[in-house]
């Protein structure tokens, strides 16, 4: 049987992905179900998942356990990576796409464009953290 913490963490990540679809629907007035499978955007589903996971481990194993220490450090790394490295990859993709677009007009080439929305802003990470807290409050009552 899957542990309650694992179920809650997975549900937090999936619910955050579903929330991205609803946020885009409200923002653009168009339903884009493929948004569920995209990276980036508000809220960070990765952050929601690791936040719910860490709080669950704290509740069931205790904050003095080695499992909590590992989970906590893993979660911090995950959040910094989502907003740092992955955000920078998205910025670089934008620059490369601009260059490719210019080459497309001058050299008549038709290459694929790179995906630009791969990381998160700190606001999106914070949104994922708050969403993870909310899921934790509901799941671990």
Q: Give the pTM.
A: 0.74
Q: What is the pLDDT of residue 115?
A: 57
Is the pLDDT at 17 greater than 60? The verdict is yes
Q: Which of 52-56, 67-71, 98-102 has the lowest mean pLDDT?
A: 98-102
Give the mean model confidence (pLDDT) for residues 80-107.
72
Q: What are phi and psi of 43, to 5 degrees?
A: -85, 165
Query: Which carries the bigger pLDDT value, residue 79 or residue 58?
Result: 58
Chain-centre distance of CA 92, in angstroms?
19
CB 72 within 8 A of CB 54: yes
Give the mean model confidence (pLDDT) for residues 11-32.
93
Give the mean model confidence (pLDDT) for residues 79-102.
73
Query: Which carries the bigger pLDDT value, residue 73 or residue 100?
Result: 73
Structural domain boundaries in the chain: 4-84+119-139
Is the pLDDT at 86 greater than 80? The verdict is no
CB 41 within 8 A of CB 117: yes
- Tokens for 56, please give them: 């669950």
Q: How far apart are CA 49 and CA 92, in angstroms?
A: 27
Q: What is the pLDDT of residue 110?
A: 64
Q: What is the pLDDT of residue 117?
A: 59
């Amino acid at each position: 049987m899957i542990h309650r913490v694992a179920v809650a963490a997975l549900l937090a990540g999936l619910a955050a992905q579903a929330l991205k679809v609803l946020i885009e629907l409200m923002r653009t007035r168009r339903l884009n179900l493929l948004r569920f499978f995209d990276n980036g955007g508000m809220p960070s589903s990765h952050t929601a998942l690791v936040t719910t996971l860490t709080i669950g481990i704290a509740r069931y194993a205790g904050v003095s356990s080695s499992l909590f220490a590992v989970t906590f450090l893993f979660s911090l790394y995950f959040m910094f990576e989502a907003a740092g490295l992955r955000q920078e990859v998205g910025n670089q993709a934008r620059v490369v796409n601009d260059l490719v677009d210019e080459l497309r007009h001058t050299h008549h080439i038709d290459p694929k464009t790179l995906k630009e929305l791969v990381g998160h802003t700190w606001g999106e990470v914070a949104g994922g953290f708050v969403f993870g807290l909310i899921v934790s409050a509901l799941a671990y009552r």
